[in-house]
Amino acid sequence: YISEFIIRILIAVGLQEELRLENIAEGSGRLIVWAFAWENIQESFFAGKGFGFDRFLTRANYILLSRKGHEGGVHNSYLMIWLNTGIIGLTLWLRGMVLIIIAGAKNTKAAWPILISLFLSAFFEGWLVGSLNPYTSMLLITFTIMAAPNLIGKEEMEKIDAKQDLKVAAT
């Protein structure tokens, strides 16, 4: 009921065309392109087809995908990585993400919620894979800050903390 209510409000204010509400059941074309990407993943399951292949694939098949109701890219970070680098690359990427979060979890309780929200978001958008957007940079900065004590080393962090304590005591 809530989603239907929200859709009715969006239609009432005239946003149905901009938000493509007529094809909301297909996820604004995402289900179409996800199935298309999955078919192409089968051709090079383990090694992928190279960096940027997801972009090439959607551009080369623009007319076909557009007729089916999809506009844009793959809209799924996992499928994008899998298309480009195969299951090997996807596995290594996921491993890296989990290891960073494990390192960060030693320093902050926010690490796991960040990972969960990141992994959920990655299902519906490809921002995590894109290099020319502010979100990826902010995520990497966040990861670095969370894992900093493990990257710098415990003794170095204690020296930094001691210097900060001296500055605070001097003021």
**Percent of the chain predicted with pLDDT > 90:** 25
CB 82 within 8 A of CB 89: yes
**Residue 37 banded pLDDT, cuts 50, 70, 90:** very high
Mean pLDDT lowest for which of 60-69, 113-122, 160-169?
A: 160-169
Is the pTM here over 0.95, yes or no? Answer: no
Report domain extents, the chain: 21-170
